[in-house]
Amino acid sequence: MDKLYGVVLTIAIAIVAYFLSSFISIGSVAIAIILGIILSNSLKLSSKFSTGITYSEKSILAFAIALMGINLDFSILIDLGIGAIVLIVLGMIITIFSSIFIGKIFGLDKKFALMLGIGNGVCGASAIGATKAIVKAKDDEVGISIAVVNLLGTIGIFLVPAIALFLGFNEVDSGILVGNTLQAVGQVVAGGFAISPSAGQSATIVKMGRVLMLTPLIVILLIVLKDNVQNSTQNNKSILSNIPMFIVGFVVLSIVASLQILPQNIVNIISSISKYALIIAMAGIGLKITFSSIKANGKTALIVASIVFAIQIAFTSIYLLVV
């Protein structure tokens, strides 16, 4: 019952977004985010909505992405190749270390800067949430990090495809640019499929690769920040549990789709459920972005994260142009 109010609100926003998508070309996913932002910043929502909004942003999004695997042909990995894997790893390393370095220049706490780097470099709020206990970042730093990362990712939905078009990238490379720079899975999906179905597939699979980097990142943090961990043995035992289950679902359904073992009408139903769930989740993400909290507490964080985001985009673009 505590989730009902927030979930109903995100569903209502999703319905409006779906209706408006017939008249606005940016698509229902992006519209849902924008409507959420407008609503959250123009009205003071009661706390009774919070649990449901979080549920939509996290659980419904994970459900949507898992089901989305039914639409994807995993053979596209052959087209991406080893170069894409190298790009993903280098991009994550450069993003995290750039955030620490730039954060130091601007006088940002190192743990705060690390949270921003992890959020930008891996998978947004999920990565921040999975590593905050190891890093031992403060609650307000975690909250601001998530807000800033979500804001930049939302802007990136429109900005990164425009950059790909300006640089003359083909559809696959455009998808790689989106997948290797935007922060949240939903944002990647929105940005990628806004370009084309092929770009959307490339973006999503590259993003899946980035999300999978969360597990080795957790292992590295446990080793490097071992003094922060009271019981290393217990935490090491839980490493595998930090791999999001929606990744497993995504992979399984991608294999099922590749093997073509389901009737097409079942595939269409699963695909439709995924689409609508994604719109609902994007409404939840939009509702989480409050400019007032960023303005009050996170000006420096926003500046640092913006510079890091620009470095991400520049690095990936140069890599794609050169390699």
Q: Hunting for tokens 């991009």 — which residue is that?
A: 91
Residue 239 reports pLDDT greater than 50: no
CB of 174 within 8 A of CB of 149? Answer: no
Tokens at 190, concatenated? 């929105």
What's the rounded mean pLDDT across residues 283-287?
85
The runs of H, that is alpha helices, within 106-196 are: 110-118, 125-135, 139-166, 171-179, 185-195
Distance CA 132, CA 142 (A): 7
- Please tell me the pTM assigned to this model: 0.69
What's the rounded mean pLDDT across residues 179-198?
88
Distance CA 228, CA 69 (A): 37
Give the contacts of 56 (CB within 8 A, at least 6 positions apart). Answer: 6, 7, 10, 280, 281, 283, 284
Q: How confident is the model at residue 233, as a pLDDT?
A: 45
DSSP secondary structure code for residue 239 in this structure: S
Predicted confidence (pLDDT) per residue in 115-159, tens digit = 999 999 987 777 887 787 788 887 677 777 877 887 888 899 999
Answer with the residue of higher pLDDT: 309 or 61.
309
> What's the CA dihedral at 259, 274, 34, 194 to 10 degrees?
20
Residue 185 reports pLDDT greater than 90: no
Tell me the pLDDT band of 264, cut-offs 50, 70 and 90: confident
Distance CA 288, CA 53 (A): 8
Distance CA 152, CA 242 (A): 25
Distance CA 214, CA 239 (A): 10
Percent of the chain residues past pLDDT 70, beyond the cut: 87
Give the contacts of 248 (CB within 8 A, at least 6 positions apart). Answer: 66
Q: How confident is the model at residue 232, as a pLDDT?
A: 44
